[in-house]
Amino acid sequence: MRRPWIGLVLAAALLVLLDAGLPHVLNPYYLTILTRIGVAVLAAVSLQLINGFTGQFSIGHAGFMAVGAYVSAALSVYLGAGWLVALGAVLPVPLARALYFPVPLVAGGLAAALAGLGVGIPALRLRGDYLAIATLGFGEIIRIAILNVDAVGGARGFSLTSAAQPAADLRYDGLGAIYAVVALSVLVIARLVYSTGGLAFRAVREDETAAESVGVATTRVKVEAFVVSSFFAGVAGALFAHSEGYVHTNSFAFLRSFEIVVFVVLGGLGSISGAILAATVLTAAPEVLRGLGEWRMILYSLLLIVTMILRPQGLMGQRELGPLRWLATRPRQRHAAA
Amino acid sequence: MLDFQQLMQILPQQLVFGVTLGMIYGLIALGYTMVYGVLKLINFAHGDVYMVGAMTGFYVAHALGFAGHPSMVGLLVTLVCSMAVCALLGALIERVAYRPLRGAGRLAPLITAIGVSLFLENTGQVLFGADPKFFPPLLESREFGRVGALSISNIQAVVLATTLLLMAGLEFVVMRTRFGRAMRAVSFDAPAAALMGVPVDRVILGTFVLGSALAAAAGILVGLSNPKIDPLMGIMPGIKAFVAAVLGGIGHIPGAMVGGLVLGIVETLVSGYLSSTYRDAIAFVVLIAILLYRPTGLFGSAQTEKV
């Protein structure tokens, strides 16, 4: 594939078609699962940047999703509903919605990035397992802090309906748009880690001391990875909040963080394709196994253990597939191959 | 709002609650810290072993008829049975989920640990039912002793005595026996210990047996003082105990106990004086505050990096 951009444009067109067409083909249950897969993929790929590419071990990713979800939801409920109604008065409604919805996604991402900066600077002084437990701690502190804010519903959860503008529909579950956001985010992360500058992430992962000795500002690189990763976790949280139309802090407890770590390790540390694959399979698995009733989660956990024992390096190891593989190849190697 | 004098009056009583809770966290934390010492693995399934301990106690007490007749003997038999079952479970978990991954890096066993944890929680929900059960009163609750206004119940006394005994036993095993010496050697440098003829795999298995038995004891002691038990009861105490282990410096045995005590006391004071909604967050706040000043915990030693 010489020009991935053409493929991308085609993919975007396809996604818009899907957005309009899928609700006529699939029932809402499948649409919900597909949406959750999209969110899981984005969360997993963003964590891959820290855990897989920079070699730091963060297990508090759900905290940043929570920040993104709640900030974007609060923005939509308290301000966005008014904007949406005002836009809808001058523009056709679908266009007004398409123009509005990137706003909470970016806002959620930025808020999470800020949280990532605040957590990353002190936490990244720690190493290995101490870093892991500190990120877990920060994740839980974020969750419990949100739980105690009454403006976003506290323990009742937070519904995306505005009291001032009850007519404004703040849910956004167009599958094509969601997958477009996920695809764009994955592309940005892939371009970042497989760029020349992105070599710094992998240098830190392979050998921090050696990286430092050749002039890589390791602390800076680690904080950068943390901030970028948190941004996309925030976008994933915002997508989650706006597609479900309701958020509760229970969705962002440490079990959620563990789940994202499982996606990353099971997929293969340092493989974006692996994170996508694992997030997709493991989000779909409990639904596929639903026929087994109460035994399904037992089987799910056994599958997890057996897969890990059979493939300790993860499903994909460090390899990439398809367009990601093309991105992962250094330009010089590409020339050599051609 | 309580005035200062009232605050000071209830302080000793709060401290007793805090120490009791802290001892239980400490017992669970010992398992984390010992396993980490020999395997450098965070055994996320450990909290669920503690749950199995409490559940086993529930069924043993009912099966042997101790449930309706509170007695010290009943408690002791239940405790020993539950510790034995969990010791076996711990050995099984090590053999099935961790040993095949020896030498496969540190993250793969972490994921199987999460898998085992999910397995125990979900199997627990199928076998025991998702509804809470009530742990049978193996002891009749009464006042054990009183110092001034401070009252200590017999259950608190049993918790303290049992924990202290178990700790003394562990100290003896670790410091005075062949197995303990082997364990310390593996923890210090596993490849070198293997070269010296220490059977590393057997030592690791033994560590899991010890840690899981201690977690079972914690499960029984919690059942005594706080009788509502359910298949997901291990999640939060498991994480807290892990925090306690890290707080004390993971891999350091007395550190785990101290970490547990610090956590138990701080948590009790916060829920007693401030607000119980922040109870679960405070453990992590303390942890992060300590890690920022001592990045390897209270008693952990800094590893020098070799180039």
* Interface contact flag, A141 B297, Cβ < 8 Å: no
Nearest to B111 by CA among A19, A309, A140, A95: A309
Tell me the shortest Cα–Cα distance from B123 to chain A, in angstroms: 6
Residue A282: inside a domain:
no
CA dist B69 and A203 (Å) reads 65
Contact B248, B258 (CB under 8 A): yes
Mean pLDDT over B160-165 rounds to: 93
Residue A159, classed as helix, strand or coil, is strand
- Provide the 8-state DSSP code for A80: I
Q: Can you give the C-alpha Rg of chain A in angstroms?
A: 20
Question: Residue B197's pLDDT is what?
Answer: 93
Alpha-carbon dihedral B211, B217, B223, B224, rounded to 10 degrees: -150
Contact B211, B46 (CB under 8 A): yes
B chain contacts of residue A136, beta-carbon cutoff 8 Å? 239, 284
Angle at A32 between CA A31 and CA A33, to 5 degrees: 90
* H, E, C per residue of chain B: CCCHHHHHHHHHHHHHHHHHHHHHHHHHHHHHHHHHHHHCCCCCCHHHHHHHHHHHHHHHHHHCCCCCCCCHHHHHHHHHHHHHHHHHHHHHHHHHHHHHHCCCCCHHHHHHHHHHHHHHHHHHHHHHCCCCEECCCCCCCCEEEEECCEEEEHHHHHHHHHHHHHHHHHHHHHHHCHHHHHHHHHHHCHHHHHHCCCCHHHHHHHHHHHHHHHHHHHHHHHHHHCCEECCCCCHHHHHHHHHHHHHHCCCCHHHHHHHHHHHHHHHHHHHHHHCHHHHHHHHHHHHHHHHHHCCCCCCCCCCCCCC
Residue B47: inside a domain:
yes
Beta-bridge mates of residue B146: B151
CA dist A199 and A193 (Å) reads 7
* Cα torsion angle, A72, A74, A77, A81, sign: negative
Tell me the shortest Cα–Cα distance from A301 to chain B, in angstroms: 5
Nearest to B286 by CA among A134, A121, A62: A134
Provide the token pair at A33: 């699962």
CA dist A153 and A14 (Å) reads 38
* Interface contact flag, B118 A140, Cβ < 8 Å: no
Beta-bridge mates of residue B134: B228
CA dist A119 and A116 (Å) reads 5
Question: Residue A337's pLDDT is what?
Answer: 63
A chain contacts of residue B42, beta-carbon cutoff 8 Å? 129, 132
Residue A197, classed as helix, strand or coil, is coil
Tell me the shortest Cα–Cα distance from A226 to chain B, in angstroms: 18
User: Nearest 5°: phi and psi at A247?
Assistant: -125, 150
Q: What confidence category does residue B209 fall into, taking pLDDT thresholds of 50, 70 and 90? A: very high
CA dist B167 and B253 (Å) reads 10
Chain B within 8 Å of A299 (Cβ-Cβ)? no
A chain contacts of residue B296, beta-carbon cutoff 8 Å? 130
A chain contacts of residue B307, beta-carbon cutoff 8 Å? 209
* Contacts across the A-B interface (CB distance below 8 Å): 117
- Provide the 8-state DSSP code for A252: G
Question: Residue A196's pLDDT is what?
Answer: 87
Chain B within 8 Å of A217 (Cβ-Cβ)? no
- Which residues form the domain of B22? 17-231
Residue B266: inside a domain:
no
Question: Residue A60's pLDDT is what?
Answer: 92
Among A9-18, A277-286, B178-187, B288-297, whose mean pLDDT is lowest? Answer: A9-18
Q: How high does pLDDT run on average in chain B?
A: 89
Residue A296: inside a domain:
no
CA dist A52 and A204 (Å) reads 11
Tell me the shortest Cα–Cα distance from A151 to chain B, in angstroms: 16
Q: What is the DSSP pairing of strand B133-134 with strand B143-147? A: unpaired
Chain B within 8 Å of A140 (Cβ-Cβ)? yes
pLDDT tens, residue by residue, A315-334:
988 888 888 888 888 766 76
B chain contacts of residue A142, beta-carbon cutoff 8 Å? none
Residue B35: inside a domain:
yes
Tell me the shortest Cα–Cα distance from A144 to chain B, in angstroms: 6
* Interface contact flag, A304 B118, Cβ < 8 Å: yes
Distances in Å between the alpha carbon of B276 and those of A148, B145, B281, B282? Answer: 11, 28, 10, 10
* Interface contact flag, A301 B118, Cβ < 8 Å: yes
Residue B121: inside a domain:
yes
Residue A216: inside a domain:
yes
Domain count, chain A: 1
Using left for φ > 0, alpha for ψ between -120 and 50, and beta otherwise, residue B17 falls in: alpha
B chain contacts of residue A304, beta-carbon cutoff 8 Å? 111-112, 114-115, 118
Beta-bridge mates of residue B133: B229
Tell me the shortest Cα–Cα distance from B145 to chain A, in angstroms: 38
Nearest to A265 by CA among A210, A330, A315, A228: A315
Contact A52, A271 (CB under 8 A): yes
pLDDT tens, residue by residue, B54-85:
999 999 999 998 887 888 899 999 999 999 99
- Which residues form the domain of A139? 7-22+30-249
Interface of A with B in 176-215 (CB under 8 A): 209
* Higher pLDDT among residues A130 and B28, named by residue: B28
Provide the token pair at A82: 């008014």
pLDDT tens, residue by residue, B220-263:
999 998 889 999 999 999 999 999 998 898 888 889 999 999 99
Chain B within 8 Å of A148 (Cβ-Cβ)? yes
CA dist B39 and B135 (Å) reads 34
Question: Residue B6's pLDDT is what?
Answer: 75
Question: Residue A35's pLDDT is what?
Answer: 92
Mean pLDDT over B208-227 rounds to: 94
Tell me the shortest Cα–Cα distance from B282 to chain A, in angstroms: 8
CA dist B101 and B110 (Å) reads 10
Chain B within 8 Å of A26 (Cβ-Cβ)? no
Question: Residue A177's pLDDT is what?
Answer: 85
Q: What confidence category does residue B45 fall into, taking pLDDT thresholds of 50, 70 and 90? A: very high
Mean pLDDT by 10 residues, chain A (338 residues): 69 72 80 93 96 92 97 94 89 84 95 95 85 90 91 88 81 84 94 91 92 92 95 97 93 92 93 95 90 86 92 89 82 66
> What ipTM was reported for this prediction?
0.89
Residue A265: inside a domain:
no
Residue of A nearest to B306 (CA): A209
Interface of A with B in 265-284 (CB under 8 A): 265-266, 269
B chain contacts of residue A140, beta-carbon cutoff 8 Å? 280-281, 284
Q: What is the DSSP pairing of strand B143-147 with strand B150-153? A: antiparallel
Closest CB from A122, A141, A295 relative to B281: A141
Tell me the shortest Cα–Cα distance from B267 to chain A, in angstroms: 14
* Higher pLDDT among residues A235 and B108, named by residue: A235
* Interface contact flag, B125 A294, Cβ < 8 Å: yes
Q: What confidence category does residue B118 fall into, taking pLDDT thresholds of 50, 70 and 90? A: very high
Residue B283: inside a domain:
no
pTM (2 decimals)? 0.90
* Interface contact flag, A298 B119, Cβ < 8 Å: yes
Closest CB from B126, B285, B295 relative to A298: B126
Nearest to B244 by CA among B254, B227, B257, B231: B257
Contact B53, B218 (CB under 8 A): yes
Provide the percentage of residues in chain B whose pLDDT is more than 70.
97
* Interface contact flag, A148 B277, Cβ < 8 Å: yes
